[in-house]
Structure 1
Amino acid sequence: MTTLSPNLTQPAPGTPSRWKVLSWQLLGLALILAAWWLVTDVLKLYPGYVFPGPRAVWTEISYGLWGTGPQDGKLLGAIAGSLRRVLVGYVAAVLLGGVVGLLMGAWLPLRATVGAYLTGLQSVPSIAFVPFAILFFGLNERAVLFVVILEGFIPVALAVSGALLNVPPTLRIAGRTLGARGPALTWRVLLPASVPNLLTGLRTAWSFAWRALVGGELLIAGAKSLGEQLEVGRNTANVALVLATILIIGVIGGLFDALLRTVEARVRRDYGLEVAQ
């Protein structure tokens, strides 16, 4: 009697292909833009200075990215400044969170105390830490980096600790049987087995850090940042600039998240946790 084994290189029946999902997303974007254009430019339900249409927002984006006038090109500088801050804060958060997560995963008293505190802090919105950061560091870039590092550090530490604890007991037993103990067991067995869950934590930390960055940048006067562009749009009643900046923030955050998702999916396939599509 012949046993048919499932083909792990093929997706499960009914799973949409990657291109089909992309076509759905593009169709949804087209519908949103069409509805936006209909409400603002055709029906004119709101004045342009209250709710501008897609053309006005695109004009602000084009001027801000590749304009040549004295006031143009500022969005490009703002993007560069914000990316520099978030990358510095994110790397620091990953390093610090990784160390604390390893210690919590290896030592129960630390996990029961610090882990519980971090879980509680994670429920606090990042904007709530901004006043403390300003009072402690002053109204400067260090206050923003503090909020970014804090918001990225917490999910990384919890993800590392949780990933180590969720390693199947059989792998722990196998590692000890082969002679791995203490730090060797962690580095050679537990951490490699935890990589898929760790990547999920890194992606969550990125989204937290990116949101915290923009909220903190609203309070830095004169710095080149996307938060400053939002503040300029508010002060000048330029709703088109505000919407353009919001769109850019969303696109950048989405692109980085998509990159991390791609890496995560590749690792999960390599670990046999997902099938190729």
Structure 2
Amino acid sequence: MNGFLRRIIFYALLIAIWEMVFRLHIWEEFLFPAPLSVLQTLVNGFMDRTFLIGIAISMRRITIGYGISVIAGILLGLLIGRVKLLDETVGSLVLGLQTLPSITWLPLALLWFGLNEKAIIFVVIMGAVFSITIGTYSGVKGVPPLYLKAGRNRGAQGYQLFLQVIIPAALPSIVVGLKQGWSWAWRSLMAGELLFVSLGLGFLLMMGRELNDMSQVIAVMIIIIIIGLVVDKLIFAKLERNLYERWGLDLA
């Protein structure tokens, strides 16, 4: 039995248990809807384009916020990893800021930017950038000195040393940081959209709660999970697999 078939059986059993619990009538139907009710909500939401619009708005925000985080995080990680003064000063600050839950940036964002798109994107950036920075920093610090010496012997200096030696050697750790950063960015986006009217998937989740429509709440949660899995499998898992194969670390 291959992995795909096992997953199909697992999710089928999960839905069967869900249906069984629903039929026990432990909770009212509006609090614990049947699987078919959630499926109907999903179909209706896509047919009237409500979910499509929500997905488009959320994906635009995550693309902008995460894109900025990637650029800023990698640059900052490279600098902290190579400049001792920055490592001893900014490095400790980054470690401290990374422990902050991303939602704690929202009050600051609202005061600085108001109830608008910029506030949500700011929260996304602050939620992701430090994970990416730390991943890049760890990769740079883990580059064997022998690689640096070999690069210099071949004439690589300055930015050439970064491009030809440091970044390729640090790439596995950078990818781990990018993956963690995406996870934090996605959570930060949902938290930001939940807390004030902003459209997007988080807004649809909150509207379901306000209307006591648990079918919509669960339907949106399923969409959020699926998007997260798709991004992980189509982008990060593939990227990690290619890196492992390139470095001879693929043990499968």
Choose the corresponding residue for 1:145, options 103, 118, 121: 121
Choose the corresponding residue for 1:230, options 181, 189, 205: 205
| C-alpha RMSD of matched pairs (Å) | 1.5
TM-score where L is the length of structure 1: 0.86
Match of 1:100 in 2: 76
* Cα distance in 2 between the residues matched to 1:138 and 1:265: 42
1:244 paired to 2:225: no
Task: Please give the per-residue CA displacement for 1:209-239, whole angstroms capped at 9, x wherever unaligned.
Answer: 0010011012342x43001101111111111
Match of 1:22 in 2: 4
* Cα distance in 2 between the residues matched to 1:51 and 1:112: 52
- CA shift at 1:110, angstroms? 0.7
Number of equivalenced pairs: 251
Choose the corresponding residue for 1:109, options 85, 88, 100: 85
- What SS does the corresponding residue of 1:218 show, helix, strand or coil? helix
Which blocks of at least 5 consecutive residues in structure 1 are unaligned? 1-18, 67-71
1:253 paired to 2:228: yes
1:194 paired to 2:175: no
- What pairs up with 1:1-277 in 2 under 5 angstroms? 20-40=2-22, 42-66=23-47, 72-221=48-197, 223-259=198-234, 260-275=236-251, 277=252
Task: Please give the per-residue CA displacement for 1:74-114, whole angstroms capped at 9, x wherever unaligned.
Answer: 11100110001101111111011111111111101111221
* Cα distance in 1 between the residues matched to 2:208 and 2:38: 12
* Cα distance in 2 between the residues matched to 1:152 and 1:21: 31
Which blocks of at least 5 consecutive residues in structure 2 are unaligned? none
**Amino acid of the residue matched to residue 69 of structure 2?**
A
* Cα distance in 2 between the residues matched to 1:192 and 1:117: 26
**Amino acid of the residue matched to residue 3 of structure 2?**
V
- What SS does the corresponding residue of 2:134 show, helix, strand or coil? helix
Kindly name which structure, 1 or 2, has the bigger radius of gyration based on alpha carbons.
1
* Cα distance in 2 between the residues matched to 1:226 and 1:96: 26
- CA shift at 1:51, angstroms? 0.9
**Amino acid of the residue matched to residue 43 of structure 2?**
S
- The structure that is helix-richer by fraction is 2
Higher mean C-alpha displacement, 180-189 vs 105-114: 180-189
